[in-house]
Amino acid sequence: MAELQRKNVLGEREKSILTKQAGVCSGTGMKCDTDSVSGSVSQRACVYCGARVVLNPITDAYHIIHGPIGCSSYTWDIRGSLTSGEDIYRNSFCTDLRETDVIFGGALKLESAIEELMSKNHPKLIFVYSTCIVGVIGDDVDAICRHMSEKYSIPMVPVKSPGFSGNKSTGYRMACDAIMQVISPYKTDKRTGGINILGDYNLAGEMWIIKNYLAKIGIPVVASFTGDASYDEMIKAPSASLNVVQCAGSSTYLANRMEEEFGIPYIKVSFFGIEDTASSLLRIAEALGNEEAREKGIRFCDKETGKIQDFLNMYRSNLEGKKAAIYVGGGFKAISLIRQFAFLGMKTVVVGTQTGKKDDYEIIESLVDEDTIILDDANPAELEAFMKEKEADILVGGVKERPLAYKLGIAFCDHNHERKHALAGFEGVINFTREINESMNSPVWSYIKECGL
């Protein structure tokens, strides 16, 4: 392994960073899906943030953060899910715990926060998040939610998410448990023939793009989790015939629970890139046994692919041969991005995820070239070392990776929840191609080199 890597990697992290050679990620090869190594300064967010990723887009839910005001800064403003209905989800409500509450307990403050919300608004659904300090002082949030829920006859769902109680994936699971608490009373044996979409958060309206495609090929959507979701829509979810999981990292656990408890099977899909968008639409139709939808899907995808060929050919010459580094949340997105870059003639030289699973890494390994660096739960020092070593031209990541790329003089593409333009579907292919071209081929990078910065 390269000298740079040895200098920048903690001993406990070595098994989470591999250089592609045949079979390196299989079996016990890649260490992943575990808590972060202490002192490694992981790029992952905390448990509470993981829970809010999943629950925040529910447009008519009230989110009470039981904790210090700082935790509640994690709001719609930095996520960007869009709504076609209510917009109360764009607010955060916080109990603003202070020192005295740490000493005497915060239960009364939480009760009065719920009372105040109930007196001034008419919530259908409230989520109450436990943050780090609540995990330390031990307020009985479950009991308060149960009591208040009985008093006001609406679901008030505790989300057990103290930041230190695991990693971001733990937060996803806590959020999925909260969703199950909301929808389980509506369990039914009736099947509508429609699907639920899991793990899409309607960033820049991507859920609408996907729903539009599905409508065109005749597949009804029962409920979405949780992009542009509402309480009334979510409780219909147990009647769906199939769950499709877009963000596998955040929602496979929910899909598994819905399969076990409601008998709804699921498939994993991705709507990033031409290849994955087309194959996902066809696999949904096949999984439903809907031959008519499959045939419509083939015609629709051929037509949409044909429409953007000239555009892609025009840009391909600017992009061919460039090298990409990918660091994203889940494995499925990384896999789609590797395919998208290959389609554009680019090579992925570094690829990592925050919450990828073993099977994700095995697929990643099968897609990349020899000597590609594959890493799980990276930190900035590792990303910096490998991007320099592999001379990446662009980094695709999220808000925490952006400054790192710019400080290194490397182009950046935001593929996380803060972005304001859709990257899913055929429309997304155009936006993505245009963005990586503009970022990588911007004159700013040569000015920086000329100035010796």
Q: Which residue ranges make up the site for ligand SF4 (CB under 6 A)? A: 46, 48-49, 67, 71, 131-132, 163
Question: Cα(206)–Cα(420) distance, rounded to whole angstroms?
Answer: 10
By beta-carbon proximity to ligand SF4, the closer residue of 67 and 331 is 67
Nearest distance from residue 256's CB to ligand SF4, in Å?
A: 26
By beta-carbon proximity to ligand SF4, the closer residue of 83 and 161 is 161
Question: Cα(159)–Cα(171) distance, rounded to whole angstroms?
Answer: 9
By beta-carbon proximity to ligand SF4, the closer residue of 48 and 271 is 48
By beta-carbon proximity to ligand SF4, the closer residue of 46 and 222 is 46
Q: Which residue is nearest to ligand SF4 (CB)?
A: 163
Q: Specify whether the CB–CB gap between 110 and 97 falls below 8 A.
A: no
Nearest distance from residue 72's CB to ligand SF4, in Å?
A: 9
**Residue 396 φ then ψ, to 5°:** -105, 120
Structure tokens at 404: 């790192």
Based on its alpha-carbon atoms, the radius of gyration of the chain, rounded to whole angstroms, reads 22
By beta-carbon proximity to ligand SF4, the closer residue of 8 and 56 is 56
| CA 249 to the chain's CA centroid | 7
- 395: CB partners within 8 A, 6+ apart: 324, 325, 326, 327, 383, 387, 401, 404, 405, 410, 411, 412, 413
- 395 DSSP β-pair partners: 325, 412
How many of the other CB atoms lie within 10 Å of CB of 130? 27
Nearest distance from residue 81's CB to ligand SF4, in Å?
A: 19
Nearest distance from residue 34's CB to ligand SF4, in Å?
A: 18
Nearest distance from residue 167's CB to ligand SF4, in Å?
A: 11
By beta-carbon proximity to ligand SF4, the closer residue of 139 and 206 is 139
How many of the other CB atoms lie within 10 Å of CB of 318? 15
By beta-carbon proximity to ligand SF4, the closer residue of 136 and 448 is 136
Nearest distance from residue 122's CB to ligand SF4, in Å?
A: 28
CA torsion sign for 137, 143, 149, 151 is negative
Local structure of residue 36 (DSSP, 8 states): P
Nearest distance from residue 263's CB to ligand SF4, in Å?
A: 35
Q: Specify whether the CB–CB gap between 353 and 328 falls below 8 A.
A: yes
Nearest distance from residue 362's CB to ligand SF4, in Å?
A: 31
3-class secondary structure per residue, 313-349:
HHHHHHHCCCEEEEEECCHHHHHHHHHHHHHCCCEEE
Local structure of residue 79 (DSSP, 8 states): T
**Residue 260 φ then ψ, to 5°:** -70, -40
By beta-carbon proximity to ligand SF4, the closer residue of 164 and 186 is 164
